[in-house]
Amino acid sequence: MTRKTQKRGSHRPTERRLRTRLRAVIEKQREYIGELSELMRQEQSLIAELDHTPPRADELQNFDTAARRKAHDTLTQYIVKLTQLRDYTKDFLTVIDELDDLDSRPRLLPVRDVDTATTSDHITSLLDGSQFQILTRSLVGYEITADDYRRLFGLPDEYLLWTKKVQDTRRGVVLKHRVWDKRRVSKGHDDDEG
């Protein structure tokens, strides 16, 4: 009987899903910022039109330049703040992209070279340098899963944790016993009884 390793550490698919959600939130924020910017451009046009419409244009001549500028500065500051927000979201998206790049880098120092860890006869553990034909069994001793192992060493999700020899042996057994036929037969047999 094998014992089930309890999940520890992070979870690569969850990390990816959360980064995707963050991107979606930021894109929505950028959309809202764009809508606000458009409203402010419309506001600017309205103000310019009103400022040049008599009798308001004549009355504005009675105010000094500083007073007129102060009113326009409020709208200008609003637009500047929206531009800053848009820039912040762009920076935030850049950071998320950098997190994606970090996903393929090791988080734990491998004790052996990753490129030479797998041969046709054995796979070398990057945790302690031990050699195995099936690495997943040894991970139980460290209480980590195969996903943990791949994530910690920046390995791709499809990185095999057993040797080519083991893979070929398993494939041979499956082909020899034609397990897909037996599954259909047993399913068909169950259907006949029901």
Question: What pLDDT digit, counting tens, does each position of 34-49 carry?
Answer: 999 999 999 999 998 9
Q: Is residue 166 scored above 90 in pLDDT? A: no
Task: Write the pLDDT tens digit of every residue in 74-116.
Answer: 888 988 999 999 999 999 999 999 999 998 899 999 999 999 9
Strand-pairing partners, residue 124, are 131
Let me know: does 129 contact 138? Beta carbons within 8 Å: no
Give me the residue spans of the domains in the chain: 12-102, 114-177
pTM of the predicted protein model: 0.67
As a whole number of angstroms, the distance between CA 114 and CA 6 comes to 26
Q: Is 149 exposed, middle or buried (0-12, 13-18, 19+ CB in 10 A)?
A: buried
**What architecture is domain 114-177?**
Orthogonal Bundle (1.10)
Residue 194: what pLDDT?
Answer: 46
Contact 39, 84 (CB under 8 A): no
Task: Give the model's pLDDT for residue 1.
Answer: 42
